[in-house]
Amino acid sequence: MRIKDLPLDEMTPEQRAVAEEAISGKRGRVPAPLRAWLHSPELGRRAQHLGAFVRYDTSLPPDLSELAILVVARRWTSHFEWYAHAREGLKAGLSQQVITAIANRETPPLDSAAARVVHDFSRSVVESGRATDALYARATAALGEKGVVDLVGLLGYYTLVAFTLNVFDIGLPEGETSALEA
């Protein structure tokens, strides 16, 4: 890790408050990117709040959220993000075949129209920063306007997470290896 990992007893009161808020929330722990964000406690506080919302409280069901997160993790080859969300994707109902296809940068075999549009929309946005009119119309028809806004927010947040994990070299837990190739 390129940045000092702060134990609770070495944190400033502001840093500790942010860490304790994360621990007492839905995550029950300090999430990996917060380990870097704690060096800027206000960024950490705000990002942590946004992260809790996009992870747990959007209009998207867990399988579609995890699908989108995996597209982001693969795009940026974010090893920790992939490690964490491949597991969460399985728990949310994504098949190993879908996860492997995304890891291999292939189009995954998705059963539902909503999953296909989330994949296609997410891939377009993370690769180009845009969605065509036709793709936007498909996404809006499948998810509604609120769902598309939630999806764009999720993609942006998890891009921030990927950048944080990659730039600060926040690695995998000891003994774990990455499933992603460069």
pLDDT at 147: 98
Q: Which residues, in sequence order, are CB contacts of 58 under 8 Å at separation 6+? A: 65, 147, 150, 151, 153, 154
Instruction: Find the mean pLDDT for residues 118-133.
Output: 98
Instruction: Find the mean pLDDT for residues 14-40.
Output: 95
Reported as a single tens digit per residue, the pLDDT across 145-178 is 999 999 999 999 999 999 999 999 999 999 999 9
> At residue 181, does pLDDT exceed 90?
no
> At residue 26, does pLDDT exceed 90?
no
Virtual torsion, Cα 120, 107, 65, 83, nearest 10 deg = -140
H helices of the chain, in order, are 13-24, 34-37, 41-56, 62-75, 79-92, 96-103, 113-128, 133-167
Q: What is the mean pLDDT of the chain?
A: 97
- Give the Å distances, CA to CA, from 94 to 56, 67, 91, 99, 164: 17, 8, 7, 7, 26
- Give the Å distances, CA to CA, from 25 to 22, 51, 65, 127: 5, 11, 19, 32
Instruction: Find the mean pLDDT for residues 135-147.
Output: 98
